[in-house]
Amino acid sequence: MKKSANRTHSWHCMLNAGMMNFVARIRIALAEEIKEGETLKFTFTRNTKSQEGFVGRLHKKLFAYENTCRHIPITLDYGDNHFFDTKGEVLMCQTHGAVYEPDTGLCTRGPCAGSSLHPLKSIEEEGVMWFESD
């Protein structure tokens, strides 16, 4: 399975004038750069703290989650953008082997079975993948 490198991202902040909400947008990549069975990591800031997320594509569906295991709050990968199991069918924590469904983030096997990865809001617009923070 091919892996993708981390990317440098551009930031866009939008102001919804009606509701006075700031929405931060990070350009993750061109949608076509997120290939079937691959993932791409990116960083974002939440509560002044740097966080890591990843997007991936499986069975033509895109998914995006925080890169944090639900067993112990450490990254799912070892910093190497390796999120899929050896068959490329499910997401797997590299530390203790928790298995997560790519489309829902639900942990179906392992020490945190029944809990779910934190989903991230990703949007595809005109061929570009964006992450939107709240």
Q: How far, in Å, CA of 120 to CA of 105, rounded?
A: 11
112: left (phi over 0), alpha (psi -120 to 50) or beta: alpha
Measured distance between the N- and C-terminal CA atoms of the chain, rounded to whole angstroms: 33
109 binds ligand FES, rule: CB under 6 A: no
Provide the 3-class DSSP secondary structure of residue 11: strand
Q: How far, in Å, CA of 125 to CA of 22, rounded?
A: 19
The one-letter amino acid at 86: T
HSE value, Cβ hemisphere, 13 Å, CA-based, for 120: 30
| Min dist. Cβ of residue 11 to ligand FES (A) | 30
Instruction: Return the residue of 28, 34, 40, 98 that touches ligand FES, per CB under 6 A.
Output: 98
Q: Which is nearer to ligand FES, 94 or 133 (CB)?
A: 94
Alpha helices in the chain (DSSP H): none
Q: Which is nearer to ligand FES, 35 or 96 (CB)?
A: 96
| Min dist. Cβ of residue 15 to ligand FES (A) | 38
72 binds ligand FES, rule: CB under 6 A: yes
Residue span binding ligand FES (CB under 6 A) among the ranges 7-15, 22-30, 90-98, 124-132: 90-98
110 binds ligand FES, rule: CB under 6 A: yes
| Min dist. Cβ of residue 107 to ligand FES (A) | 8
Binding interface with ligand FES (CB under 6 A): 69, 71-72, 74, 93, 95-96, 98, 110-111
